[in-house]
Structure formats: structure tokens, C-alpha cells
Amino acid sequence: MISLKQVTKLYGQLAAVRDLDLEVEDGEIMGIIGHNGAGKTTILKMIVGLISPTSGTIEVMGRDVAKESTYVKRFIGYLPEESPLYENMAVADYLMFFSELYKMPKREAKERIDLLLGSLKLPEYDKLTGELSRGMRRKVAIARALLHDPRILILDEPNAGLDPLTSFFIINYLKSLKEQGKTILLSAHNLFHVEYICDRVAILKNGRVVICDSMKAIRKNLGRREYEVIFKADDKLDYEQREGNYVFRTADIGEVASVLENISENNWALVNLAIRESALEDIYVKLMAG
């Protein structure tokens, strides 16, 4: 669906992106994460044709973006990180204005706008965009990106600066778009949301892809599995204590078996046995520090 091959973007002598290969499959949600200046926004802007790569090729749906930019843009909905609205226009009028730029028939546009504002839980059709909260303004910008019913969504920090409830609503909304067959490429700093929503994650460092894979594979290769045994005992033991219980943590399954055996032999009470996987945030910090 989206293919970047040996893509480099130079600003003078500075390489924002260097020799980058990236594939986004049809119908998946891919997240790209990295430190500030890692090249995330540059990659997204090159895909939508706002800036051109210094070298390399970018294809969307099998078409070269450099050669067929106008054709490709018909299938893409783009949401930049900073997306100002026309503050003196009502929500419905603002979206209708953009539907005219897409040359949508008026009746079709009205039906599409009603559908989007309903699904985004944004009922203030007649309210000026300048009077909306930050979260509601972001929803309007998302509706604008979806007006022409694109197959591909390119989203730069879709929930940046939003309150937790609105942010989580938007993340779940994106999941529903995937169920409708959309392909989504997004950048985000909230790694919990990336881990929650994305089929695959590309981690960038200094303009290069460090790793791109499913969370399951990333955890297997770079993460850590830890076991936590919580039990209650009358004896005084050399273990961490928490809320009247003893807590034992280890990455060694053999040590877990030994502790469980001791619990059984001494008739202690097993309270809980949990397996904890490394979060994406832990893996990311480890990669950035390396």
C-alpha cells in the first residue's frame, strides 16, 4: 500500500531521513515513533507529497508519488500535527467548504458530513470552530481529513495535547476506521496508545528505522518477561513486602517454580501469580539509550 525505498531527505548537510526503507501493508495501522528530530513528520510529509525526497522512491498504491502526486492524493487523508481551522466559520460550513475543494456533490457532502460529525460525537454543527475546545477542534480536523472517504490516513500526532478521555476516544475511533478497511500510518509520542492500536511499530533514531515489527515480535527480540509471585506467610522472610504480603519478582521461570514449591511445602497462601511483559515505553528507552 505504501512503500519507501532508500529514501533520504537532506536539508543542506543535515539528513532528516537517511536510506530509509519502510512498507505499510493494506488495512493495517502502523505507528512510527522516535525522539524529536528523528524524521517522523518529514516521512509523513514526503508520503503525502508536501515535500520531496532528496533521493529514493515513495510509492502509494503502486504509484510513484513524485510522478503521480495528484492521482495519489485522491486516496489520502492527511492530518498534520498543527491543523488550524477557519475560526470564523461554523463547523458544518467549514466542512462543506472543503467538500467543494474535493468536488463532492452537495447532497453527498451533506450526508458525509452528518455521518462524520455523528460518529465523532461532535453535534455543534452551527458553532464557530473558533469557539470549540481543543479536543472538538481536533475532531473537526479529523472529519476534514475523512471527507472524501480516503483509503489511506496519514496522521501526525492525532491526539497531541488532548485530555485523556478525548484522546482515548480518538484512538478507538481510529480502530473503527481500520475495521472499515482504512490503512493508517500515524506518529505519536504517547507510546501506550501506539502499543494499544498499532499492528506494527517502526522505531526511528536519527532518521533511520531501528526496528519495524509487531509488538509481539518486538517484545520477543528486545523485551523482558518478568514473573511476580505474591504470597502470605506467618514466617519472617527476606522478601519485599507490600500490603501485608510478600512479593517475589524474577525473570527466571526456574526461580518461580522454586518459590511456588516453598509456598506449597510451608502451607503459605498464594495470593497472585502474574506475568508482566515489557511495555513499548521500556523497549523504546532501551533503544534510544543504546
Tens of pLDDT, residue by residue, the chain (290 residues): 999 999 999 999 899 999 999 999 999 999 999 998 899 999 999 999 999 999 999 999 999 999 999 999 999 999 999 888 999 999 999 999 999 999 999 999 999 999 999 999 887 778 999 999 999 999 999 999 999 999 999 999 998 878 888 888 999 999 999 999 999 999 998 888 898 899 999 999 999 999 999 988 988 888 888 899 999 998 889 899 999 999 999 988 889 999 999 998 899 999 999 888 888 888 888 888 76
What gap in Å lies between CA 79 and CA 255, rounded to an integer?
Answer: 50
Measured in whole angstroms, the distance separating CA 156 from the mean position of its chain's CA atoms is: 9
What gap in Å lies between CA 46 and CA 117, rounded to an integer?
Answer: 29
What gap in Å lies between CA 261 and CA 20, rounded to an integer?
Answer: 51
199: exposed, middle or buried (Cβ count in 10 Å: 0-12, 13-18, 19+): middle
What gap in Å lies between CA 105 and CA 110, rounded to an integer?
Answer: 9
Class of the 2-220 domain?
alpha beta
Q: What is the 3-state secondary structure (H, E, C) of 6-37?
A: EEEEEECCEEEEEEEEEEECCCCEEEEEECCC
pTM: 0.84
Cell reading at 24 = 505499510
Enumerate the domain spans of the chain: 2-220, 224-289
What gap in Å lies between CA 77 and CA 79, rounded to an integer?
Answer: 7
What gap in Å lies between CA 145 and CA 50, rounded to an integer?
Answer: 15
